[in-house]
Amino acid sequence: MNIGFVKKTIIALIVSIFLGYILITTKDLLTRIVVIPFLMFGITLFIRNICLIFKKNKIAKTFSIINVISFFIYYFGFLVYWDYIAIINKDYMSIIFSLLAWFGGIFVAYRRYLRLRNVDKTKK
């Protein structure tokens, strides 16, 4: 077992505890909304690393997929919020710039994950 891997697992646990504390103690809704995806990422990273330590690779792969899905939910959720605020403020230039982020996110999601999944199915 690699000592660096154990350090990453401990750091993920510490960060998760810290973010959980922030989530519980804060009263501000916006802060809670911002903290939740990072807390979810920290917890799933910790559990994935524990599974890898105990050589449970299938379960670890599931938590890796959860990390990717939660990242894209956060990314596209932020873009929806950004576009919503831009429409309310009638700032249409921001919407044009956000289109680049939309295309970039869709491109990365398709190229990195969806296309590979389709290639794996055809190989079987």
**Total tally of structural domains belonging to the chain:** 1
Cβ pair 72, 53 in contact under 8 A? no
Residue 30's domain spans which residues?
A: 3-123
Q: DSSP letter at 55?
A: T
Q: How far apart are CA 52 and CA 66, in angstroms?
A: 15
Reported as a single tens digit per residue, the pLDDT across 18-67 is 999 999 999 988 888 889 889 999 999 999 999 988 888 999 999 988 88
Contact 100, 79 (CB under 8 A): no
pLDDT reading at 118 higher than 60: no
Across the chain, what does the average pLDDT equal? 87
Integer Cα distance of 28 and 115 in angstroms: 40
